Structure 1
Amino acid sequence: MTRTLYIVRHAKAEDRATFMSDHDRELISEGIMAAARIGRFLHDKSVQPDQVISSTAPRARDTAKVIAEQIGFDREQIQLDEALFEGGPKAYLAAVNGLPDSTQSAMIVGHNPDVSYFAEFLTHQSVGSMSKGAVVAVQFDGLNWAEVSGRTGSILFTIAPKELRQS
């Protein structure tokens, strides 16, 4: 069975203020619009993940919600995983390895540099630093989620909001 993982970096958020914790930063309007463009792109590609997992940080959670709206995924079914905030790539791998075998495709929404490192770890292909709101789609052939590890996937596509700007 082929499985697909959509790795998403949260969209553009407010700058970190001295009185605000990094975790609590919210999306700005530009980020909301960028997440909506990405969601429409994914909808047009018929992306229908069985599960969406997001960091608990508002900027990641809200990116997941905006994309979910666009692709027709029930926002109430988004699973929040606090380990995805500052948990490093190991936290992302643990979330993916814990997916049930009945899941054919999943989306995980988190933070850089972890998402970029994670995509490169899974595929051994250069992703560089994912831009805000970007998606890397990774395909795994013949593996259960528990078997996903380094160099087991291949990149199907990458897309960033700036590539979708309307003229």
Structure 2
Amino acid sequence: MEVYLIRHGIAEEQQAGIKDEERQLTKEGRQKTEKVAQRLVKLGLQFDLIVTSPLVRARQTAEILLEVGLSSQMEESNHLAPNGHISSWLDYWLQPKNFAPNTQLAVVGHEPCLSNWAEILLWGEVKGGLVLKKAGMIGVKLPESGEPVGRSQMFWLTPPRYLL
């Protein structure tokens, strides 16, 4: 299975009167995310499913990926909210009975969760070495069998500027 960890696009700044979970993509954030998504289509990417955090900015990012044709399916998961834990996400989403070994799964969420999760999958612990820019992507290939933690391989790390 290939998991593409995708950070949401540029969102409104935190400010009084707007709850964090309600912050939306800015006009620039939407435009850059659309360009990145279109580039991913040109590169031939196709996701079997897009799973997104329930926060507005992540959901809007996932909707852009869906609109350009990167997938035909999208689901929301509370496991991907900023306070989510990788262990609960792995238990729920990465069961062999849920996905075939060649599944390509896009996961849209937040920092530092996504970078930390990538490091846990790769090295078994958070090392603080990976940084995922807004609308950037980390691709991780999970092993065909056994525990993915500390046994996965990174095959993609792209800041959005390389896709624009």
TM-score bracket for this pair, using the shorter chain length: 0.7 to 0.9
Aligned-partner Cα distance in 2 for 1:161–1:137: 14
Paired amino acid for 1:163 = Y
Q: Are the counterparts in 2 of residues 9 and 111 from structure 1 also a CA contact under 8 Å?
A: yes
Deviation of 1:9 (Å):
0.8
Matched, 1:80 2:82: no
Matched, 1:134 2:133: no
Structure number having the greater helix percentage:
1
Matched, 1:109 2:111: no
State the identity as a percent: 23
Deviation of 1:95 (Å):
4.5
Paired amino acid for 1:21 = K
Paired amino acid for 2:86 = P
CA deviation string 1:92-140 (max 9, x = no partner): 4344324713361111100111001001111128752211111001112
Partner of 2:86: 89
Partner of 1:66: 64
SS at match of 1:157: strand
Aligned residue pair count: 158
CA deviation string 1:8-52 (max 9, x = no partner): 111110001111111110000111122112212221221111111
CA RMSD of aligned residues (A): 2.1
Return closer, same or farther for 1:153/1:25 CA change in 2, 3 Å cut-off: same
Structure 2: unaligned runs, 5 residues or longer: none
Partner of 1:28: 26
Partner of 1:122: 121
Return closer, same or farther for 1:113/1:140 CA change in 2, 3 Å cut-off: same
Aligned-partner Cα distance in 1 for 2:47–2:99: 13
